[in-house]
Chains A and B, each alone.
Chain A
Amino acid sequence: MGFSRHYFSVALRALLRNRAQAALAVLGVCIGVGALVTSLALGRGAQEAIADQLLAAGANMIVVTAGNYQAGRSHDYTAPADHASLLHQSGHYYVANLRRQGPALSSALFNPADNFLFRPVHFENDPMAVHDHPTAKERLGDTMAGLGAAATLTIEDARAIRDSIPGVHLVVSGVHENARLTVENAPKQRWLTRMHGTEEQLPEVRPGWSLPYGRFFNRNEVDDSAQVLVLGRVAAERLFGAGVDPVGETVLLWNQPFEVVGVVDSRSWASTPAVGDDQFDAFYVPVTTVHQLLNLSMLNTITVTTRAIEGTSQVADQIQTLLRDRHGITESMPDDFTVKSQAEQVLGKGLSPDIARIVSGNLARVDDLTVAQLSGSLQRTNRTMLALLAGVAAVSLLVGGIGVMNLLLLSVTQRTREIGLRMALGARPNAIATQFLIESLLLSLCGGVLGALLGLISASSLEGVLQWSTVVSPLSTVLAIGVAALLGIAAGVYPATKASRLDPIGALHHE
C-alpha cells in the first residue's frame, strides 16, 4: 500500500536524522532480542539434551545390584536362620534353603547338585567356609585384591536373565571395586580409581560414550580372560597426562600386567568427566579376568537393557521373580539384590535428593511415565538457569524498549513543527500516531532481526566454546522478532499518543 510506503520512508528519514541515537536504540533492542534467542536456544538445547540422554542412556536400562540396602529399614531386623551352608564331599559348597518344601534334607544332601534345595556358592564367598588356600591378596601380593561387597549375583544369574526373560536386549555382568593402577616401569605414575569388570557389550549400553583412543575389548578377550584394560578419560589423564594416547601401554593391576587397548570419554555435555566420576575416573577390564585373578564367580551388578522402554518395569518384575527363585529366597525374606530401573536413577540425579525421593516415590511404574514426563521432571533443575537467562533477556528488552521510547520522544520534540504542519494539511491524530508507531516498529524490527542474528551467533559460540547444548529453532527466532515488534509498539504508544495530541497551532509555531 502506497500509504504505508510513505509512512516507512518518512520513518526511515526521521531515523536517519538521528543516526547515532537510532543505532543505540537498535543496539538495545538487539541485545535484548539476542539474549532472548540465546536463552531460548539454551533452554531448548537443554530440553533436547535431556530427552536424548533419557532416550539413549536412561529409560530402558535396568541395573540389578547385589545386596539390598534400604534406607529406613529397621536396624534390629534379624534374618531367620533358614539357610545352611554345606561342604559337599565333592568339594563344592552349597547353601541349603531350610524352609523350602521338598524331599528330606538327608536324601538331598547326597545328590545336592541336582536338587533345587541347594544352590552352589563359591567357596571364597561363603562366610562359613574355612579357607585352607591362599587368598587373592596373598596370591597376587596386592593388599587391595579382593571383593568387599556382598556379592550375591552370579554370571549364571546374568545368563538366566538373558536366556529366559523375553524383551531383554543386552545383559552385561559387572564387578566393581576400587583398585590402584600403576604404569609399568613408572611406579610414581599411579592412580587409585574405580575398577569395573565388565563385558564387551557395555559400550552399547552406554551410548553417551565416545572412544577417543583405541577400542573396547572384544568377546574373545572376555572369553579368554585376557589381561586387557580400557581406561576412562580421567584415569588415563592421571596416569599418562592429558592428550596422550595410552593405547599399547602396559599398566599394573594387582601387580599383573594389563595392556591398555582404549580410552572412553563422554560425548555428552551433561556429564563432563571429573575426578571421582564413576564412569570416567575408572577403568574397564573383562569380568572374566577379574574372576580368574581373584578366584571369584560373583558379580556386583547385572546391567540389563530392554528392547522397548515400555517393557522396562515388566522386565524388572520378571528379573526380580527370577532372581528370588534362583536365590531361593522365601516370601518372608527381602531380596538379596536390588532391581532398579535407570529412569529412577536418572531422575534422582537431576533433582535434589528430597525431591527425587518424592518423584520416584510417585513413580510406582516407570511404564506410566513417558520420556517427555521424565524430561519434564529433569527440566525443573534447568528452570532456575533458564529463569535467570530469561530474566536477563527481559531486563535487556526492557532497557531496549526504553531506548526506543527515548529516541521517539526526541523525535516528537524535534519534529513538533512537522507534526503541526501535517495536522494543518489534514492529517488526523491517528495518522500522526501511526507515523510514530511505524517509526518505533521499524526501529525495533531492525533490532529484532539483528538481535536474532546475534542470538544465533552467541548460541553457536556457546556451543562451540563452552560445549553447551543449544538448539535454535526457526520458531524461536520468529518469536523473538515478534517480541521485538511488540516491544516496539509498546515503546511507541506513549510518544505516538503524545504526538497525536499536540495542538496544531502550538505545534506549527514551535521553534
Chain B
Amino acid sequence: MPVISLQNLKKSYALGDNTVHALRGVSLDIEEGEFVAITGPSGSGKSTMMHILGCLDRPTEGHYLLGGEDVSNLSRDALADIRNRQIGFVFQGFNLLPRTTAVENVEVPLLYSRPLLPAAERRQRALEALDSLGLSQRADHHPSQLSGGQQQRVAIARALVNKPSLILADEPTGNLDTKTSIEVMRLLQNLRESLGITIVLITHEPEIAAYGTRIIAVRDGEIVSDVANTPTPMEHVEEDQEQSEPALAAANA
C-alpha cells in the first residue's frame, strides 16, 4: 500500500473574477521509504501540491489518501492531528521559534499531541531527537546562537520528534550555502536509509533534486515527468576532515 496516493487531484482558487487552476488533475503514488523530489518552476503548482500533501490545504476535487486514509475532506481539527502525528515539516526558513531554546523548539509538536505526554517524557524525546542529529550540546541554545545548518538540523529534529511516517521538506536548502546544503541533504538521505522514512522534497534546484530516488517534474499544475533516479552518492565532506584535525594534531603531538 502506498504511503501517499493522489487520485486525480485538482485545486483551483478564485482570484478576483478569475479562477486559477493550480493543480489540474494529479495522480501519484508514493511508496514507503521513497525519497521523492518534486521540481518545477515557480507557479507550476508544486507549492500547492506540497500544501495538500502536508494537510495544510484541501483539494477542490479528487482524493488524497495518506496511509490509506482519505484525508481530502477532514475537519481542521482532524487535519491538525494528522499533521501532528504523521507529517514532519522542514521549511526553507527553518521556522524556529525565536527566544526559545533548541530543545523547546523540538518539543513543540509534542505539546499538541493527543494523548499529551508528561513534561519529563516530552523533554526526554526532544533531547533524543536532538542527540540523533548531533545537537545534544546545543539543546539550550537559542536559534540566534546557532548556524544556519544547525538551525535546519534543529528543525529536522522537530520534524522527527513525533516519529512521523512522512517528512515534507519545502526548499530545505534554500537559505543555506552549498556546503551546508550538502550536509542537510545527506542527513535526509541518512534518515531515509536508517529509519525507512518517506521523504517528499520540493525544490527548484536540480542538484538538490538529484539526492532523491525519484524525481517528479511539475508544470502548469500537471506532472510532466516522473522518473526514478540514482541518488547523488554520499561523499566525504570536508567538515569531517576539519573535525578530525584536532585529533590528528593531538596524535602528532
Whether A421 pairs with B118 at a CB distance below 8 angstroms is no
A420-431 interface code vs B (CB 8 A; 1 in, 0 out): 011111111111
What is the bound-complex CA distance between A504 and B56, given in angstroms? 6
Chain A contacts with B in 386-432, Cβ cutoff 8 A: 417-418, 421-431
A98-111 interface code vs B (CB 8 A; 1 in, 0 out): 00000000000000
What is the bound-complex CA distance between A430 and B97, given in angstroms? 20
> Is chain A's interface secondary structure helix, strand, loop, or mixed overall?
helix
Chain B contacts with A in 131-180, Cβ cutoff 8 A: 158, 162
What is the bound-complex CA distance between A426 and B84, given in angstroms? 4
Whether A428 pairs with B77 at a CB distance below 8 angstroms is yes
Whether A427 pairs with B51 at a CB distance below 8 angstroms is no
Stretch at the interface among A2-10, A45-53, A258-266, A466-474: A2-10
Please tell me if B113 contacts chain A, counting CB pairs below 8 Å: yes
Whether B112 pairs with A505 at a CB distance below 8 angstroms is no
Known contacts A2-B119, A426-B80, A426-B85; A431/B112 CB under 8 A: yes
What is the bound-complex CA distance between A431 and B113, given in angstroms? 11
Of A418, A429, A505, the contact of B77 (CB 8 Å cutoff): A429
Whether B97 pairs with A427 at a CB distance below 8 angstroms is no
Please tell me if A486 contacts chain B, counting CB pairs below 8 Å: no
Please tell me if A322 contacts chain B, counting CB pairs below 8 Å: no
B93: min CB distance to chain A, Å: 9
Whether A421 pairs with B112 at a CB distance below 8 angstroms is no
Whether B81 pairs with A426 at a CB distance below 8 angstroms is yes
A411: min CB distance to chain B, Å: 14
Residues from chain B with a CB closer than 8 A to the CB of A2 are 116, 118-119, 122
Of B91, B99, B112, the contact of A426 (CB 8 Å cutoff): B112
Which one of A17, A422, A425, A508 has the highest number of Cβ atoms from chain B below 10 Å of its Cβ? A425
Please tell me if B28 contacts chain A, counting CB pairs below 8 Å: no
A421: min CB distance to chain B, Å: 5
Whether A428 pairs with B112 at a CB distance below 8 angstroms is yes
Chain B contacts with A in 93-140, Cβ cutoff 8 A: 95, 97, 99-100, 108-109, 111-113, 116, 118-119, 122
B236: min CB distance to chain A, Å: 34
Please tell me if A267 contacts chain B, counting CB pairs below 8 Å: no
B50-93 interface code vs A (CB 8 A; 1 in, 0 out): 01001011000000000000000000110011011100010100
What is the bound-complex CA distance between A427 and B162, given in angstroms? 13
Whether B57 pairs with A505 at a CB distance below 8 angstroms is yes
Whether A424 pairs with B112 at a CB distance below 8 angstroms is no
Known contacts A13-B99, A13-B100; A425/B89 CB under 8 A: yes
Give the size range of B's interface with the partner.
Answer: 20 to 34
Residues from chain B with a CB closer than 8 A to the CB of A5 are 119
Residues from chain A with a CB closer than 8 A to the CB of B158 are 425
Whether A426 pairs with B97 at a CB distance below 8 angstroms is no
Residues from chain B with a CB closer than 8 A to the CB of A421 are 91, 95, 97
Known contacts A2-B119, A5-B119, A429-B77; A424/B57 CB under 8 A: no
Whether A427 pairs with B57 at a CB distance below 8 angstroms is no
Whether B51 pairs with A3 at a CB distance below 8 angstroms is no
Residues from chain B with a CB closer than 8 A to the CB of A429 are 76-77, 80
What is the bound-complex CA distance between A426 and B77, given in angstroms? 9
Residues from chain B with a CB closer than 8 A to the CB of A6 are 111
Residues from chain B with a CB closer than 8 A to the CB of A431 are 112
B160: min CB distance to chain A, Å: 12
What is the bound-complex CA distance between A424 and B56, given in angstroms? 7
- The chain A residue with its CB closest to the CB of B120 is A2
- The chain B residue with its CB closest to the CB of A3 is B116
Whether A425 pairs with B54 at a CB distance below 8 angstroms is no
B31-61 interface code vs A (CB 8 A; 1 in, 0 out): 0000000000000000000010010110000
What is the bound-complex CA distance between A423 and B77, given in angstroms? 10
What is the bound-complex CA distance between A3 and B119, given in angstroms? 8
What is the bound-complex CA distance between A25 and B100, given in angstroms? 24
Residues from chain A with a CB closer than 8 A to the CB of B111 are 3, 6, 427
A6: min CB distance to chain B, Å: 5
What is the bound-complex CA distance between A424 and B84, given in angstroms? 8
Residues from chain A with a CB closer than 8 A to the CB of B56 are 423-424, 504-505, 508
Whether B85 pairs with A417 at a CB distance below 8 angstroms is no
Residues from chain A with a CB closer than 8 A to the CB of B119 are 2, 5
Which one of A418, A422, A426, A429 has the highest number of Cβ atoms from chain B below 10 Å of its Cβ? A426
B226-246 interface code vs A (CB 8 A; 1 in, 0 out): 000000000000000000000
Residues from chain A with a CB closer than 8 A to the CB of B108 are 422, 425
Known contacts A431-B112, A504-B56; A426/B83 CB under 8 A: yes
Whether A425 pairs with B109 at a CB distance below 8 angstroms is yes
Residues from chain A with a CB closer than 8 A to the CB of B118 are 2
What is the bound-complex CA distance between A505 and B111, given in angstroms? 21
Given contacts A425-B89, A430-B77, 16 further A-B contacts (CB under 8 A): A6-B111, A17-B99, A421-B91, A422-B112, A423-B83, A425-B158, A426-B109, A426-B113, A426-B162, A427-B84, A427-B111, A428-B112, A429-B80, A431-B112, A508-B56, A508-B95
- Chain B residues packing against A (C-beta within 8 Å): 51, 54, 56-57, 76-77, 80-81, 83-85, 89, 91, 95, 97, 99-100, 108-109, 111-113, 116, 118-119, 122, 158, 162
22 contacts between A and B (CB under 8 A): A2-B116, A3-B111, A6-B111, A17-B99, A418-B97, A421-B95, A423-B56, A424-B54, A424-B83, A425-B89, A425-B112, A426-B85, A426-B109, A426-B113, A427-B80, A427-B111, A428-B80, A428-B81, A429-B76, A430-B77, A505-B56, A505-B57
What 7 pairs between A and B have smallest CB-CB spacing? A426-B84, A2-B119, A426-B112, A428-B80, A425-B109, A427-B112, A426-B83
